[in-house]
Amino acid sequence: MAKVPVQFTLNGSEKAEFIDSGTTLLNALRDKIGDTSPKGGCHQGTCGACSVIIDGELRLSCLTLAETCNGAAITTTSGLAEGGVLHPLQRAFLDTFATQCGFCTPGMIMAAKVLLDHTPNPSRDEVVEALSGNICRCTGYEPIIQAVLTAARANSQNAA
């Protein structure tokens, strides 16, 4: 299988790799680049565990081919903390017990980040809609919704 070059920005740093053509972004991130924060859940586009942000848009890395991301800016949950200080969403997920087994959490946080980037003070319905492509089998969702609303409040207090 011919190798193809891919080059993109991951969490602010340049990455370049040779991969097998047709490799999904999820596999490239996890197996080649070593960012294991996006999880492989269903590989069908149903569970949202592999969600990443590509050029500001939420995408499923399990259904995206890595070579279609050349030149893109990709954000994953592992890039959110700065200097050991958790991102407000990560802090809120911990504080509201929104994570149990943790497998869905990075995808949930990506979906929530895109929401808060565009809608800093979302309604509960907007949070539910934003997380609707992400499945959690542990928490019953309520703590996750609360975590996103808590992070939004923390952001607006910091901005004030």
Partner 1 sequence: MALALQTFPTVKDANAALKAAGTRYLGGGTLVVRAANEGDVSVSGLVMSTDPALSAIAAAGGKVRIGASVTMAAIARHPDLGPLAKAARAVGGPAIRNMATVGGNLFAPAPYGDFAVALLALDAAVGTEDGELPIETFLARRDGSRSIVTSVSFTLPKADGFRFLKVSRVKPKGVSVLSIAAVLEQAADGTVSSARIALGCMADRPMRAKAAEKALKGKKLDQNGIAAALAAATEGIAPITDPIASAWYRAEVLPIHLGRLLLA
CB of 35 to partner 1, least distance (A): 18
Start-to-end Cα distance in the chain: 55
Counting Cα atoms < 13 Å in the Cβ hemisphere of 107 gives 26
User: Which residues ranging from 40 to 59 are in contact with partner 1 (CB under 8 A)?
Assistant: 43-45, 48, 51, 57-59
Is position 64 an interface residue for partner 1 (rule: CB under 8 A)?
yes
Which residues make beta-bridge pairs with 19?
A: 4
Question: Out of 32, 133, 138, 154, which residue is the one contacting partner 1 (CB under 8 A)?
Answer: 133
- State the DSSP H helix or E strand holding residue 14, giving kind and residue range, or none if neither: strand 13-20
CA dihedral 49, 38, 78, 153 (to 10 degrees): -20
Q: Is 95 exposed, middle or buried (0-12, 13-18, 19+ CB in 10 A)?
A: middle
Is position 77 an interface residue for partner 1 (rule: CB under 8 A)?
no
Is position 63 an interface residue for partner 1 (rule: CB under 8 A)?
yes
Is position 65 an interface residue for partner 1 (rule: CB under 8 A)?
yes
CB of 157 to partner 1, least distance (A): 26
User: Where along the sequence are the contacts to partner 1 (CB under 8 A)?
Assistant: 1-2, 4, 20-24, 43-45, 48, 51, 57-60, 62-65, 67-68, 111, 114, 128-130, 132-134
